[in-house]
Amino acid sequence: MSSRARTTARRPLLSNFVCKTVMALTGLIFSAFVLVHMVGNLKVYLGGEHFNDYAHWLREAFEPVLPYEGLLWVLRLALLASLAGHVACAALLWRRARVARGPVRRRHAGWRSFTARTMPVTGLVLLFFVIFHVLDLTTGTAPAASGGFEAATVNTSHAYENLVASFQRPLAGLFYALAMIVLGLHVAHGLWAAANDLGATGRRFRQVAVVVSGVVALVIMLGNISIPIFVLIGVLK
Amino acid sequence: MKLTLKIWRQDSAQAAGRFESYSLDGAGEEFTLLEALDKLNDTLVETGQVPVSFDSDCREGICGSCGVTVDGVPHGPIANTPSCRQHLRSFTDGSTVTLEPFRSGAFPVVRDLAVDRSGLDRIIEGGGYVSIDAGTATDADAHQVSHETAEAALDFAACIGCGACVAACPNGSASLFTGAKLMHLTLLPTTRQERGQRAVGMTEAMDEEFGPCSVIGECVEVCPAGIPLTAIAGLNREKLRSVLRGKAS
Ligand code: HEM
Ligand code: SF4
Ligand code: FES
């Protein structure tokens, strides 16, 4: 009988606890960001001018305390660092889980754990989406961006026109809608996982956390998804 | 009733395993799964074959010795029920039932359906005990513990250490077990001096052999003691507390 010898020798530099805490905190940062980002996106319904003014304001916010695009760069760097931490820890945990599981796959008990089991998959789709999204509407790099992309200048932004031009391509609009469903799934389980990873034991708090996770995910998903749909059916143009 | 039992046979941890089919005749619906295996083994012994190895002891759901995977589900088709309390009435007459050992990287097969779950003992060695001389029983009121707290501690203490949570987990995580074993102590005042070091020690021992928790929740579907996911949040809370506090207590 082989009783496994205790391997006190090597302890990984980043323990599971560190990885989980990093994932939870960066995941919460992302969730807060996508929620605020969605509220900003909904300004498309107030008209192109209003939307472009908002996009322009983001660039010159808090001048002269911050330089031009200062706020944007603070956010970009914070999000980039979070993304690096989130993805690196996800990869480490995924690897360790595979080793611990052993060669035999589990037969899963049903749909209740669907969002949880698909976290690595939805996460990878999101990673691809994030890259595509930046190339499409921030840098305007073809083929992600539409032919009509116009970069922002110091005086004005063409965010509204760029957005509509991008979503008028059916494949791009559809991909955005699909990515938002995937985002909803990821956030729904992610927020609940974060509550657990950060040690939420109170009964009341846990009940609230379950509901908030679902509602926030649904709001982010539906709020964003409405935009490509309204562009595709020609309401936004 | 008549069943075909498709059973995992493996001679040792090193040997390659294989499924073998046996037909079991004349077992009653009221038989437990383990009694069905007993009956099969009687026939195997009578015909000069090697009986199927499996673990069991109390056969009333309190010791945590038993545990086989039935049609892919640790313990069997009835949720939150140990293998020794699963009955043949859950299966339709004439059907095929697949029996495998608890599957996990941390549970090497000893023989057939019996696995080595001593990794769970090593988690307890990491700090799942109280190192004070308790002496004789103290006065009932010496430590003020509210009714709710006492009940919660008892609920976590219900874990029988069967390892089904690990076998159910796609990550091979022992977080439900460790959380239960940590929280039933942590909630009580007599264990306070070691609160921090217990959380660190048990977490480290757990991470050496078992996987990380992704809050998937398959464990609570099979746990015969009904341990809730709150145990895992408690484990994380205690670990976080010890890191922020940096003390043994
Ligand atoms: C906007 C983007 C994202 C948001 C809002 C987000 C949010 C979250 C949150 C809150 C968690 C819970 C962390 C925890 O376990 O406590 C999580 C987990 C996870 N995320 Fe993300 N995430 C995002 C992007 C990504 C990306 C790009 C990946 C790429 C691989 C990814 C992969 C994962 C995985 C695998 C987990 C589960 C980790 C585990 O518990 O084993 N996420 N995410
Ligand atoms: S937590 Fe439940 S499933 Fe896990 S070892 Fe304890 S009793 Fe068994
Ligand atoms: S044999 Fe004791 S719990 Fe099943």
Quick one: B102 and B134 in the same domain? Answer: no
User: What class does CATH assign to A15-101+110-232?
Assistant: mainly alpha
Q: What is the pLDDT along chain A (237 residues), one digit of tens a residue?
A: 334 444 444 678 899 999 999 999 999 999 999 999 999 999 999 998 999 999 999 998 888 888 888 999 999 999 999 999 999 999 999 999 999 999 998 887 678 899 999 999 999 999 999 999 999 999 998 888 888 888 888 878 889 999 999 999 999 999 999 999 999 999 999 999 999 999 999 999 999 999 999 999 999 999 999 999 999 998 888
Q: Do the Cβ atoms of B108 and A109 come within 8 Å? A: no
Using DSSP's 3-state secondary structure scheme, residue A212 falls into helix
Quick one: B166 and B236 in the same domain? Answer: yes
Quick one: B104 and B139 in the same domain? Answer: no
| Tokens 């579907």 found at | B221
Q: Do the Cβ atoms of B110 and A1 come within 8 Å? A: yes
The parent domain of residue B70 ranges over 3-111
Structure tokens at B120: 């769970």
Q: Which of B213, B124, B68 is nearest to A196 (CA)?
A: B213
* pLDDT value of residue B182: 98
* pLDDT value of residue A110: 75
Strand partners, B73: B70
Domain boundaries, chain A: 15-101+110-232
| Tokens 């020609």 found at | A234
* pLDDT value of residue A10: 63
User: Is beta strand B96-101 parallel, antiparallel or unpaired with respect to B3-9?
Assistant: parallel
Q: Do the Cβ atoms of B72 and A6 come within 8 Å? A: no
Quick one: B21 and B107 in the same domain? Answer: yes
* pLDDT value of residue A5: 43
Q: Report d(CA B182, CA A139) in Å as an integer.
A: 51
Mean of the pLDDT values across residues B16-37? Answer: 96
Q: Report CA(B127)–ligand 2 centroid distance (Å).
A: 18
From chain B, pick out residues whose CB is under 8 angstroms from the CB of A99. 105, 172, 211
From chain A, pick out residues whose CB is under 8 angstroms from the CB of B215. 116, 189, 192-193, 196-197
A224: Cβ contacts below 8 Å, ≥ 6 apart:
A38, A41, A176, A180, A183
pTM assigned to the model: 0.91
Quick one: B194 and B212 in the same domain? Answer: yes
What is the DSSP secondary structure assignment for residue A219, as one 8-state letter? H
Backbone angles phi, psi at B97, to 5 degrees: -115, 125
Q: How many domains does chain B have?
A: 2
Q: Which of A7, A4, A102, A98 is nearest to B117 (CA)?
A: A4
| The amino acid at B148 | E
Check if A13 contacts B (Cβ < 8 Å). no
Q: Report whether residue B113 contacts ligand 2, using a CB cutoff of 6 Å.
A: no
Cβ contact A173:A133 at 8 Å: no
Question: Binning pLDDT at 50, 70 and 90, where does residue B121 land?
Answer: very high
Question: Binning pLDDT at 50, 70 and 90, where does residue B140 land?
Answer: confident
Say how far residue B59 (Cα) sits from the centre of its chain. 14
Domain end point (choices B96, B111, B126): B111
Residue B157 has pLDDT above 90, yes or no: yes
Question: B148: buried, middle or exposed (CB in 10 Å: 19+, 13-18, 0-12)?
Answer: exposed
Nearest to A196 among B13, B110, B229 (CB): B229
The alpha-carbon gap from A221 to the nearest alpha carbon of chain B, in Å, equals 22
Say how far residue B70 (Cα) sits from the centre of its chain. 15
Cβ contact B83:B23 at 8 Å: no
Domain end point (choices B91, B111, B131): B111
What value of ipTM does the predicted structure carry?
0.93
Residue B228 belongs to a domain with what CATH number? Answer: 1.10.1060.10
Using DSSP's 3-state secondary structure scheme, residue A17 falls into helix
Quick one: B125 and B228 in the same domain? Answer: yes
Question: B127: buried, middle or exposed (CB in 10 Å: 19+, 13-18, 0-12)?
Answer: buried
Q: Do the Cβ atoms of B212 and A93 come within 8 Å? A: yes
Residue B21 belongs to a domain with what CATH number? Answer: 3.10.20.30
| The amino acid at B56 | S
Q: Of all helices (H) and strands (E), which one includes residue A35?
A: helix A16-41
Quick one: B230 and B130 in the same domain? Answer: yes
Quick one: B187 and B105 in the same domain? Answer: no
| The amino acid at B152 | A
The alpha-carbon gap from A11 to the nearest alpha carbon of chain B, in Å, equals 8
What region, left, alpha or beta, does residue A228 occupy, with left being phi > 0 and alpha being psi -120 to 50 degrees? Answer: alpha
DSSP E strand stretches across B27-128: 68-70, 73-74, 96-101, 109-111, 114-115
Nearest to B215 among A97, A103, A193 (CB): A193
Nearest to A16 among B172, B207, B241 (CB): B207
Quick one: B70 and B174 in the same domain? Answer: no
Domain end point (choices B111, B126, B146): B111
Quick one: B12 and B105 in the same domain? Answer: yes
DSSP for B120-167, written as a single string: HHHHHHTT-S--S---SPPPTTSS---HHHHHHHHHHHT-----HHHH
Task: Give the ligand with the smallest distance to the CA of B225.
Answer: 2
Question: Binning pLDDT at 50, 70 and 90, where does residue B118 land?
Answer: very high
User: Is beta strand B109-111 parallel, antiparallel or unpaired with respect to B96-101?
Assistant: unpaired
Q: Report whether residue A126 contacts ligand 1, using a CB cutoff of 6 Å.
A: yes
Cβ contact A156:A52 at 8 Å: yes
A49: Cβ contacts below 8 Å, ≥ 6 apart:
A160
